[in-house]
Amino acid sequence: MAVSDTNTASFGADFVEAAERALSSGRPEQVSDAELERVMTAAVRLFAAKTDTENASVRPVTPERVTPTDIVVTVSALIRAGGLNLWDVSMWFNRAKQ
């Protein structure tokens, strides 16, 4: 089934709203671990695909909306989930863009 361009603008809106509501209420558990994993997996895969195929600088986050701690906690969890170590990451960190 094809998705029209008008629908793509709303992708993620429900999740973002639920996440913001959970964060503002101080109750992050309102978003289930399974749903967060599902969204993070899709976002990581899409981000990697876009940066590899579009040869563009896609910003992964809005810097003003996350803290350095948010970023390091997330990156560390992604590194562990992928079974990587910092040496593996260093090999990719400065890779040349094609």
- Encode pLDDT of 45-67 as tens digits: 999 888 888 667 788 999 999 99
What was the pLDDT predicted at 1? 44
Q: Is the pLDDT at 8 greater than 70, yes or no?
A: no
Q: Is the pLDDT at 19 greater than 70, yes or no?
A: yes
CA distance 6 to 64: 27
Closest by CA to 74, choosing from 17, 94, 65, is 65
- Amino acid found at 35: E
pTM of the model: 0.78
Q: Is the pLDDT at 32 greater than 60, yes or no?
A: yes
